[in-house]
Amino acid sequence: MTDAQLLALLDNGLRQLQLQLPEGSNERLLSYVTALQKWNSAYNLTAIRDPKDMVVKHLLDSLAVSPLVRSGSLLDVGTGAGLPGLVLAMVRPDLQVDLLDSNSKKTRFLVQMTAQFGLKNVRVHHARVEQAQLPPQSQIISRAFASLSDFAHWCGHLLAGDGVLLAMKGLYPQDEIAALPAPFVVRESHALTVPFLDEARHLLVIGKQAA
């Protein structure tokens, strides 16, 4: 697809999601896709190679959760190439986003993207999540990072008392929900529709139950 066709695809998807992004966001998001393609050959950032699929499965998939993410701070664990955290940070200046990954090649890419796009609301951390030393977080998000049980176990020490885990999942993970350790409970479940993607998507909001 040409750049113009990719831009039209993104525009169409954003209309379907009913998202209005700050001026210049669309072009910046496509520049990110271009950089992803460029770095991918050497750094193996994502298994998706086709730019059209990157727009749908990376950009629109990440942006679909934006209305459900509160303003303030957001920690993205196992962020990989910056999904969804970097994408959200690019279009949500009201968010302070921390990107965490244990893969040094991926965090190197994230540092470069943060500088290239002048993102003052992004910090990049190279560490394993269970060893990360960060202040208590109000929101921690993950995209296909781990089972819900592992997500809660590994990130529990980083979560503020009233904070929430935001788990991006495909099919509704009934078995994973049943295996959640106390005191974690699912507070909300949202079925998402990602434009041009014929696959199930859910966002689960998980918090600690009061003793």
Q: Which amino acid is at 191?
A: A
CA 70 to chain centre: 13
Asked whether residue 129 is marked as a ligand-binding residue, the answer is yes
Mean pLDDT of 1-14: 96
Locus of tokens 């086709």: 50
Question: Rounded to whole angstroms, how far apart are CA atoms 49 and 182?
Answer: 40
pLDDT for the residue 194: 98
What would the two tokens of residue 9 be? 């695809």
- Residue-wise pLDDT tens digits, 149-160: 999 999 999 999
Question: Rounded to whole angstroms, how far apart are CA atoms 96 and 181?
Answer: 29
pLDDT for the residue 145: 81
* Residue 134: exposure state from Cβ atoms within 10 A (0-12, 13-18, ≥19): middle
- Residue-wise pLDDT tens digits, 115-132: 999 999 999 999 999 889
Asked whether residue 207 is marked as a ligand-binding residue, the answer is no
- Residue-wise pLDDT tens digits, 100-110: 999 999 999 99
Residue 131's CB: how many other CB atoms inside 10 A? 9
CA distances from residue 51 to 6, 46, 59, 135 in whole angstroms, order as listed = 8, 12, 10, 36
Mean pLDDT of 79-94: 97
- Residue-wise pLDDT tens digits, 159-174: 998 999 999 999 999 9
> Does residue 210 register a pLDDT over 80?
no
> Does residue 12 register a pLDDT over 90?
yes
> Can you give the pTM of this predicted structure?
0.96
Asked whether residue 143 is marked as a ligand-binding residue, the answer is yes
Question: Which residues, listed in sequence order, are joined to residue 201 by a DSSP beta bridge?
Answer: 192
> Does residue 143 register a pLDDT over 80?
yes
Pick 3-208's CATH classification: 1.20.1300.10, 1.10.10.60, 3.40.30.10, 3.40.50.150: 3.40.50.150
Domain ranges in the chain are: 3-208
- Residue-wise pLDDT tens digits, 19-76: 999 999 999 999 999 999 999 988 989 999 999 999 999 999 999 999 999 999 999 9
What would the two tokens of residue 161 be? 């008392």
Q: Characterize the bridge pairing of strands 122-126 and 159-169.
A: unpaired
Question: Rounded to whole angstroms, how far apart are CA atoms 66 and 181?
Answer: 27
Q: What is the mean pLDDT of the chain?
A: 96
Q: Characterize the bridge pairing of strands 122-126 and 184-192.
A: unpaired
> Does residue 11 register a pLDDT over 80?
yes
pLDDT for the residue 211: 65
Asked whether residue 78 is marked as a ligand-binding residue, the answer is yes
* 3-class secondary structure, 164: strand
